[in-house]
Structure formats: C-alpha cells, structure tokens
Structure 1
Amino acid sequence: MTKQVDPITLDLIENALLNARFEMDSVVVRVALSPVIREQHDEFPMICNPDGQMVVGQFGSYIPAIVEQYKDNIHEDDIFVWNDPYACKGSISHNNDWCVMMPIFHEGVHVGFSSIFGHMVDVGGKVPGSMPADAYSIWEEGLRVPPVKIYEKGKLNDAVLQIMLNNSRTPDMNRADLMALVAGCRTAAKRVREICDRFGRDTYLSACDLLMDRTREAMRVLITNYIPEEPVTFTDYVDDDGVGNGPFKIHLSIYRRGDVAVIDWTGTDDQAEGPINFHIHEGLCKLFFGVYMIMAFDPKIMFNEGFYDLFEIILPEGSLLNPRFPAALSNRLNTHTRFFDCQAGALGQRAPHLSMAAGYGTSPHFIYTGKDKNGKYFQLMELLFGGVPGRPRGDGLDGHAWWPLFSATPIEYIENYYPVLVESYRPVRDAGGAGLHRGGAGIEKVYRVLEAGSISIHDDREVVPPWGINGGLHGGTSSKWLVRAGSDEPERIKSKLDNLKVEPGDKIIFITAGSGGWGDPLDRPVEKVLRDVNDGLVSQEKAEADYGVVISDDMVIDTAATTALRAQMKTTRGEPAPFDFGFIPGVHQAAE
C-alpha cells in the first residue's frame, strides 16, 4: 500500500534522486580513462525502483529483462555486467556499450537498482574501435557478454573481468572505464540508502511510485493534446549501410486510441546487410517518445518510466528497427538518430509551433590507430558533432551533440596524448538551413597525423540532407577528404570506411552535416542575417538567395534592395512548404 507523502517531502526526495543521478556522472568521468567517457561523457546513468523501472535517468527499460534471467539469485553487493544487444532484448544497442547494474538494499530490504552503461573504445572484432563499416553480422563486431556477475556479494569475479579485457585492444582503458561505471552505481546505492535513512524506507518507496504516477498523468495530457486520433505519418532515410546498399526508408505512423499513443513503424525497410540496424527494445522506444514529447511540449516534466502503459509500439520483425539475429548493429546510430527525426516530423505536423527540423543525423566517429615513436600502440577515438536543428525558441546550435550532456574532446587533450595535430576546428559556412530560425551549422575538423597508422570514419547525411520545417530550408550535407603529405589536392573518401592507411603529414578533413531551418527565412530579421555573414556562418550569396538580404562588399545591408527582393521572392514562391527535403538521390518521394 502506498504511503502518503506530503508535497514538500516528495520534492525533496525527487531532487535528492536527481542529484544522485548527476553525482553518478561526476564519479564516472573522474575515474574513467578513455576520452570517450572521461572527456565526451558517453555514459548514461539511472536509478530504478524495486521493479527495475527508471525513476530518474536517461535510458531505462532494461533492468526487468536481467531480473527475469536471475530471478531470486540477486543479492546485496552483486554487480552485473553485459553488452550483448540480443541477450538483453535490444536495451543495449551495440557491443561497445558495457552496462553495469547493481541491486540496492536498505537494511537487508531490496529498494531498487542503480545502473550505467558507457561506450568502450574497443571490444575486439575485426577493426580497431569495434565498429566496422562493412560488418555483415554481429560476430564481426567484438566480444559479446551476456548478463553475468562481475561482483558476487562484493567479491570480484576476476575470471569474467580477464575474459572481457583479453578481447580488447585497449584493456587498460576498458578496465578503468568499467570500474568507473561500478563506482557510479555504488555512489547511487549509497545516496538511496541515505534517503531511506532520512525519510524512512516506506516513504522513499512511496515517493518513487508517486513520481512515476505524476509523470504518467502529465504524459496522458500531452498525448491527448498533441497526438490525433487520425494517423500522422512521416518518412526519412538513412544514406547507406556501409556495404553498398541504400538509401534506407524509415516510416512512422502515430495516432491515438483513447489515452494510448500508438507508434507504428510498419513500412520501414527490411534490415540492412551492413551494420546500421537498430535493435531497439520496445520499452526504450516508449522512453524515446516520452522524452521527446516532454522536451518538445513540457520540459518541466520529470523523465521516468511511469508513462509506459500509455504507449503501444509496433516494430515489424526483420526490419531496420527490429532485426533478426545475427544482424550487424555496430553503427546503428544512423538509424537511431533518424528515428528522432521521424518523431519530430510526425509530431510537428499537429503542433508546428512546437516542432523542430532535422539534425546532422548520426554520431560521427573518427578513429586513428598505430604505434608511436616508442613502439607503443595508440588508439584515438573521437565522437564528432554537427548542426542541431532550428526550433521554435531560436536558432539551432552549431557543432553540438544530440545528447545534451556530451561535450567535445579538448584539442589539448588529443594533442597531448596522441600523435596528431588538430589544425582547425570551425563551423561550416552555409551548412545551417535557412529559416526564421537558422539551422545549426556542421563542423569542419582537420587532423594532421604524425605517425603512420590507419583511420576509420563513420558518418551519414552525406546523401540525404537534413530537412527544414515550417518554411525552413534543408541543411548542408557531410563530406570527408584526405590530403596526402606533400600534396595540396584533397581526395574525397567515403563517409563509412575502415583501415585507411595514413602516413606522417597526411591530413583528414572531417566535415559533418548541418541541420534544417525553422520558419520562413524571408521573415528572419535582417540584422541577424548580417550577423551570421560577419560570423562566417552564412555567405553573402546565400544571404541573398535564401534570405533575400542584399549585403554590400563592405558589409552594409542595402535596405531598399532587400525590401524589394523579399517581396518579389514571396510573390514568386507563394506559401512556403511545410517541409523542405532537398534532393534525395534514388528516392522519388521524400515524405508521405
């Protein structure tokens, strides 16, 4: 029976849990060794109730599947680890993500779980970094660990640890990062026990239930207000799968049946031969939709799993979003982020004033490996960012991550620990789609390698541009270039490749995609257009062609010419289209 909890106590417990969740982040980044977790924060913590439902955090849904496997064989000070997507029903979506879970007990009574997963820089497989661009099965993507106990009643299972580290090219980094995840979970467990000591265990458990109920009721209101009973559909595309196939269609239909939102991915293309399949857990799909709706429509609502019964998910088996084993999964983020774009495109049709355009479209990575002058193996992995889309509140963000807490690896860190120089790092001019609110620009990063080695890169939206919305225009696409030492001629290389040999002095130019604009660019204040031109984000030519703003060579707006041009452009164009998809090669109809 749920105990009554007064509003002030509920607020105190809520914020104590949120603080514990952020303390988990803080502990992890202090203990971790790899740049991906230590510098870029590619780790996702959560705190759950005794049923394994996320009360605070970012990614939920996976604890019940692990509990189901172990049933009564879960004890105080046990800590579990796993990374196999197929063994946990897709809650971890590729082998690089190692997940740690710890049951939390208070005075011998089970009161919840803490859990974190983080991206390991290498887990074996056919290429350094374990994310081969040309994998045809998960067998090529590194070690797969089913849910096992890394600690049993507080005692380290060294055999499991050694097996995991023995299959990595970067065992020292992996060990440090794994122990960082363990430390984060232990920190959360300590804080939850303190909350139980302070307020009482029954009060804490009742507060968790009430926080879930409150989020459920808030989500019910959002679903009623923003999801129609008639289906709304949207289609977007992934460029290719890395082995020569594509584009791949992702199709979404959303409608409401009473209080329940039906999310139907029927019409999405069959699973790919290459590694862009996204084996998404049904609960995780619910969480992504709930989080999107909260961020778009009412950011004050707390993230948790209380709203899960308000969503019905249809994921056709054998599709890009529900592939059959042993489909390759390592580069699933192309599909994952297009999943978000489809959400925005569908939900934005009912509430265009709260919608946003499409972003840079994946989580681009750059991997550089070799041996330094002392013969020591090195492996640099960096996640790059791009344009975050235009939105109702203003312009998109330039060179920013999709994930709110991610940050760029400091150039000083890269140059201090790896034989590489970063010669430039800047936004790409004209990459942000024109709009009343401009889309965020992609970035251009130039690496000059100092030792012989090999590089692997992965990116998307090289072919299919990020679309604009509410009259906004599509953003710029990505590209990759290699300039050999002693040459000034850049050679274009694929957006998905592995083991490209490089020599000292070679340069890699990594350009990520921008994002779509929001709203009519002919309504954008002219002083903002001039500011973007002065900042190098928009060219004078694009200012005139897309925004109708005439700027002289000495950077002065020609007011009369601008007024006349904008009037002419509006007359010629008529009402702006709700979406601007740009040109998509091989696709005859870009949206339905």
Structure 2
Amino acid sequence: MKNIDTITVDIIENALKNIKEEMDVTLFRSAMSPVIREQHDCFPMITDAEGQMVVGNFGSHVPEVVNQFPEGVHKGDVIFVSDPYSCGGSISHVNDWMVILPIFSGEELVGYSSMFGHVMDVGGPVPSSMPVTATSIYGEGVRFPPVKLFEKGQLNESIIRIIKANTRTPMENYSDLMAIVASCRTAEKRVQELCERFGIDTYFGALEALLERTNKMMRELITNFLPTEPVSFEDYIDDDGLGNGPFKMKLTIWREGDHAYFDWTGTDKQSPGPINYYLSEPMFKMFIGSFLISVFDPAINFNDGFYDVLHIESPEGTLMRPVEPAALGCRTHALSRLFDVLSGALSINTPENSPAAGYGTSPYFIYSGYDQDGRYFNLMEVMYGGLPGRPIGDGLDGHSWWPAFVNIPTEYLETYYPLRVEYYRTGKDSGGAGMNRGGNCNEKLYTCLAKGTVSIHDDRSTLQPWGINGGEPGGSSSKTLIRKDGSKQKLDSKVDNIEVEPGDQILFITGGSGGWGDPLERKPEQVCMDVKRELVSLEKAKESYGVVLNPSTLEIQREETVELRNQMRRLRGNLEAFNFGNRADVVKV
C-alpha cells in the first residue's frame, strides 16, 4: 500500500460518504414509486476495484455477479439483476432491482457503484408481487439473472420491453430503474473526480487504509463484547400465511480470539410459504457489523473491511438458507426478526447492556384497483412499529427498524391514491413497561374511496416482542376490516385480495416493542409525562409502573405511589432476564 497520511484518508472517506448521500438524493428526486421516492427503500454502495464495499448500506455482492460475465465489464456497461438466487441473496426478493456500474478512471477500473430499490410490481398473481400463498419463487413475478442493461453505453431495449410487459406499473418501474442507474452514474462521476484530484494510486491507498481501519476496530469490538463460550438464543415468526408455524430462528455466537462465529444450526426447515430469507454470507456479515457498530461504537466507518473476522454457518434447507426455488416474497419477517435474535444472543451474559425486542418485521399495506376515472392505482406502503427499550433510554415510537426509512406523508397518499387517512398515531400501551419504556406501535385507519383489493403482510400478531432485564413484553399487531355498514372483521396478519368497496376502512395496528429494566425503577415523572402524551394509560401507569395519578389533574399522588410500589416489590417474584410474554402458550416444545 502506498504511504498515505491520515488527513488525506479522512478527506477521501468523507468525500465517499457524501457521494453515497448524493446517490440517495439523485434516486429520491427521480424515482416515481413512493416506496423508493418517499420511504427510501433503497441501498447504495461504492466499492474498490475488487468489489469490496468501502462505503454503503449493504454487503458487497459485486464479485459474485461480475464473475458471471466471462467477457468482463467495460466502460458504459450497466448490470441489472433481480433474482436473489443469482446473486447469493444480496437482494432478498424479486421486487428488489439492483444495478451495478463499473467505474473507470481513464482506462483503469477503479471500483463499482451499486444501488438497489424496491419497485412496486413485477408481475405475478397479485398486485405488488408478494403473494402470501406463493409456494415457489416462480409464483412471485418476473426475475432477471445478471444481464447487461447497458453494454458499452448501448441500452438493451429488449430488457425494457420485457420489464414493461410483465408489470402492472410499467411507467413507474421504468422510471425507477432509470433513476437507480442515474444514482450509480452520479457516483461514477464523483469517484472519477476524486481520482483526478488525488491520483489513482492515492485513491487506492486511501480505500485500503479505510478497510484496514475498520478491520482493526471491529476486532476490538469482538474482543470486548462477544463471549468466548457459545451462547444461543431463539425467537419465532408467527406463521407463513399458509397455516404453518411458528417458525424458530436460532442463533449461536462465540468468539475465538478476535474472530467471531455465528451459527444458525437449530433454525427450522424452510417454510412452504414465502417467509424464507435467503441470507447471503456477505449480507449477514453486513447486518452483524451494522448492529455491533451502531450499538457499541457508531464512529466506526461501515465497510467490508471486517468480513474476514466474521464466520457464518447457515445450514442449507433452513428458513435462513432455503433451497431454490423456495418462495421469498414475504422474507421481511425473518429479515427483521434477525436483529432481535442477534440482540438476544449478544445479551445472554449481559442483558443490562442490550436492547429488548422490537416489532420484528416489515409490515406492508397494499391497496390496488381502478379509481373513479378508470385509472389503475397500486399502493404499497411500508409500515413501522415500536423500537425496543434500550440501556440508554426509551425505544422510539412508530419507527422503522432500518434507520434511513421514513413514512409516506399523508398528503402524498391522499393526493395520488383514492383513500383517506383518518388518523395515524402511536398505539397507547403497546410499548412494554420498563425502566426504559419500549416504543409504541403505529395505528393507522384508512378509508378506501374506490373499489379494489387490499393485501396485508405483518407478523408479531401472536408472539409478543420480549422484554429484557426485567422489562415487560410489547403489544401484538392486529388488523380489522370495518365495512361501511359498521360491521367488523378481524383479518389475518398475512392475507391477499381482500375486496373493499368505497367507504370501507382498514385499521392497521403494528407490533410494539419490549421494555428494558424494572418498570418500578422508572421515575414517576416520566410515567406521568407518558400519560399526558397519551403514550401510556392511567391503568397501565398504575398496574405496571406502580404510579398513581389523579384522574382529573394527572398529578402524581406521591404517598400512594410509594406505598403501591413497595407492595408490588414484596408480592412479585424475582425478575427474569427475558420476559417472553405469551410464548409458552403459542410455541409447543
């Protein structure tokens, strides 16, 4: 490696981080689908010439994809892929469209830019292409193995025609794809400018230094926070939408020196339904790194430099490593629950240092049909829930488990789709009680203004998000169809093609999250404020926190509170490290 001063390394590092942000901005301003444009369901990446991610939000898949082109890559090439099985699971279902663009400075390959985003519809039997009843990936829509969308600068029009012929939203899909390409071209231009400014050798030296820096810091995290003896933790997905389940996800972790080991042995076999998650090794390493860095040292730059110190075992034929052509469309339940399992495993020996469980999925609301003017509409909205109570404070109310995601503004929904949002709020009492309260869920009431169909993807409807270190579990999710005549019908958490008429309503309630720490240790003033903000009810303040408030003024009744808390401490048993709520009633061992 060329000797390079740390200031230059820092300048190039921050330039690359800014380029990554510019990729996002380019995409958000160009895409048409609200899931990308408004909710930011996309993941950028910039790599070195070998395909190692230097900055980005997901593990590098570049070598595996590029090696499928024996002719190599050239200036002007743009690779497109939407098949999880063709890229080792780096994208997790066929709605994720990924682009890889080689970056040349002069005639030398200096790296790759890549971006993938969730497009609205890729065909298949149901709108938005994530059928709950799918039993293989063949029933989930059109998938593309790695192909050259552009070859030496020339657009392959045949690919565009195939795309447009196999989607309910051809205009949106085409625009989204070109926006993804544009974001990668933005990175291409900016990286070329860096190479011109500093020289290719200096640029390469900085990338190598960044990777080595992250490697060294990750080794320190592993040594400081991972156990030397194997520890295991398990959590469950409710069901697969076809009547099967619950499905166990089990993870065992340990370290040997400064190397970490993660073993999914004991996880249930792959599901007949579409909740399988094809977990690529690089992607899981990325998740581990993201989790460890965000929890223990957010200052570390997130890149592929630490991958050689992580070792993954994921048995084939299981929920986390299904065999092709297993269905993958509803994989977000396993994808999100992965973080709860990882958190639980890391907290076995030190529950006081780890968060509780969150809402553990990625809920989808899908509404499609024809409006009063005969125009086709297809809405897919990602919903959020409670993030867990943590050692440093309360969990976030109604937040995405992925930090960069945001909600679709109500004004956008009501402008572009035939629906009305009656209210969008956090669900009172859905966050588990604790010294640090679990985040509350989201409650959203939609009124449908056009005839159409509704599909729902969610989880945590039967198994609660667990509390930790004495905290209570969070609330479960639920869905209700309210007909315009006032009659109500409970809906499953995974269901397709519910027919709705103008005036019908859908009440969509997501899962809450677990609390952290003894609820009786929470300051009465905090509980009082939660009640005033309508996050906690008077009843829960008294029953879970032992805080007595005046029903009229909401002032703390000090003497009654002290007396009640002392009584609750005397009567209760020892607090457990984990409170799994109703798990024993649902899971049959």
TM-score bracket, shorter-length normalisation:
over 0.9
Q: Does 1:237 align with 2:236?
A: yes
**Structure 1 CA distance for aligned equivalents of residues 208 and 570 of structure 2:** 57
**Alignment correspondent of 2:153:** 154
**Cα RMSD for the two superposed structures:** 1.0
**Alignment correspondent of 1:50:** 49
**Alignment correspondent of 2:519:** 521
Q: Does 1:499 align with 2:497?
A: yes
Deviation track 1:72-123 (CA, whole Å, cap 9, x = no partner) reads 4200110000100111111111000000000000011000000000000100
Equivalent position SS for 1:118: strand
- Unpaired stretches in structure 1, ≥5 consecutive residues: none
Equivalent position SS for 1:537: coil
**Alignment correspondent of 1:87:** 86
**Alignment correspondent of 1:399:** 398
**Structure 2 CA distance for aligned equivalents of residues 456 and 424 of structure 1:** 20
Equivalent position SS for 1:69: coil
Deviates more, 1:282-291 or 1:348-357: 348-357
Residue 491 of structure 1, CA deviation: 1.5
**Structure 2 CA distance for aligned equivalents of residues 298 and 72 of structure 1:** 42
AA in 2 matched with 1:529 = V
**Alignment correspondent of 2:581:** 582
Residue 350 of structure 1, CA deviation: 3.7
AA in 2 matched with 1:426 = R
Work out the percentage of aligned pairs sharing the same amino acid.
55
**Alignment correspondent of 1:550:** 548
Judging changes above 3 Å, is the alpha-carbon distance between structure 1 residues 228 and 132 closer, same or farther for their aligned structure 2 residues? same
Equivalent position SS for 1:447: strand
**Structure 1 CA distance for aligned equivalents of residues 233 and 285 of structure 2:** 18
**Alignment correspondent of 1:190:** 189
**Structure 2 CA distance for aligned equivalents of residues 402 and 199 of structure 1:** 38
Q: Does 1:68 align with 2:52?
A: no
Deviation track 1:499-538 (CA, whole Å, cap 9, x = no partner) reads 1100000000000000011111110010110111111111
**Structure 2 CA distance for aligned equivalents of residues 211 and 566 of structure 1:** 52
Equivalent position SS for 2:100: strand
**Structure 2 CA distance for aligned equivalents of residues 588 and 503 of structure 1:** 40
Residue 199 of structure 1, CA deviation: 1.0
Show the 5 A alignment for 1:248-267: 248-267=247-266
**Structure 1 CA distance for aligned equivalents of residues 207 and 43 of structure 2:** 20
Q: Tell whether the 8 Å contact from 2:333 to 2:361 is kept in structure 1 after alignment.
A: yes
AA in 2 matched with 1:308 = Y
**Alignment correspondent of 1:292:** 291
Q: Tell whether the 8 Å contact from 2:81 to 2:145 is kept in structure 1 after alignment.
A: yes
Equivalent position SS for 1:356: coil
Matched positions, count = 587
Show the 5 A alignment for 1:17-32: 17-32=16-31
Deviates more, 1:284-293 or 1:343-352: 343-352
- Unpaired stretches in structure 2, ≥5 consecutive residues: none
**Structure 2 CA distance for aligned equivalents of residues 240 and 352 of structure 1:** 28
**Structure 2 CA distance for aligned equivalents of residues 425 and 470 of structure 1:** 31
Structure 1 outlier segments of 4+, above 6 Å: none
Q: Tell whether the 8 Å contact from 2:276 to 2:331 is kept in structure 1 after alignment.
A: yes
**Alignment correspondent of 2:2:** 3
AA in 1 matched with 2:272 = E
Q: If the length of structure 1 is used for normalisation, what is the TM-score? A: 0.98
Q: Does 1:137 align with 2:136?
A: yes
AA in 2 matched with 1:417 = Y
Equivalent position SS for 1:181: helix
**Alignment correspondent of 2:426:** 427
**Structure 2 CA distance for aligned equivalents of residues 71 and 351 of structure 1:** 50
**Structure 2 CA distance for aligned equivalents of residues 212 and 545 of structure 1:** 51
Residue 551 of structure 1, CA deviation: 1.2
Residue 335 of structure 1, CA deviation: 0.6
**Structure 2 CA distance for aligned equivalents of residues 582 and 526 of structure 1:** 24
**Structure 2 CA distance for aligned equivalents of residues 474 and 586 of structure 1:** 15
**Structure 1 CA distance for aligned equivalents of residues 34 and 455 of structure 2:** 17
**Structure 1 CA distance for aligned equivalents of residues 232 and 541 of structure 2:** 33
Judging changes above 3 Å, is the alpha-carbon distance between structure 1 residues 436 and 71 closer, same or farther for their aligned structure 2 residues? farther
Q: Tell whether the 8 Å contact from 1:226 to 1:350 is kept in structure 2 after alignment.
A: no
**Alignment correspondent of 2:313:** 314
Residue 574 of structure 1, CA deviation: 4.1
**Structure 1 CA distance for aligned equivalents of residues 300 and 471 of structure 2:** 29
Deviation track 1:305-348 (CA, whole Å, cap 9, x = no partner) reads 10111011000110000001111000001011111100100112
AA in 2 matched with 1:311 = L
AA in 1 matched with 2:549 = I
Residue 349 of structure 1, CA deviation: 2.6
Q: Does 1:416 align with 2:433?
A: no
**Structure 1 CA distance for aligned equivalents of residues 282 and 37 of structure 2:** 28
Equivalent position SS for 1:547: coil
Q: Tell whether the 8 Å contact from 2:463 to 2:586 is kept in structure 1 after alignment.
A: no
Equivalent position SS for 1:256: strand
**Structure 1 CA distance for aligned equivalents of residues 475 and 70 of structure 2:** 51
**Alignment correspondent of 1:509:** 507
Residue 287 of structure 1, CA deviation: 1.2
AA in 2 matched with 1:277 = N
Residue 390 of structure 1, CA deviation: 0.9
Q: Tell whether the 8 Å contact from 1:76 to 1:153 is kept in structure 2 after alignment.
A: yes
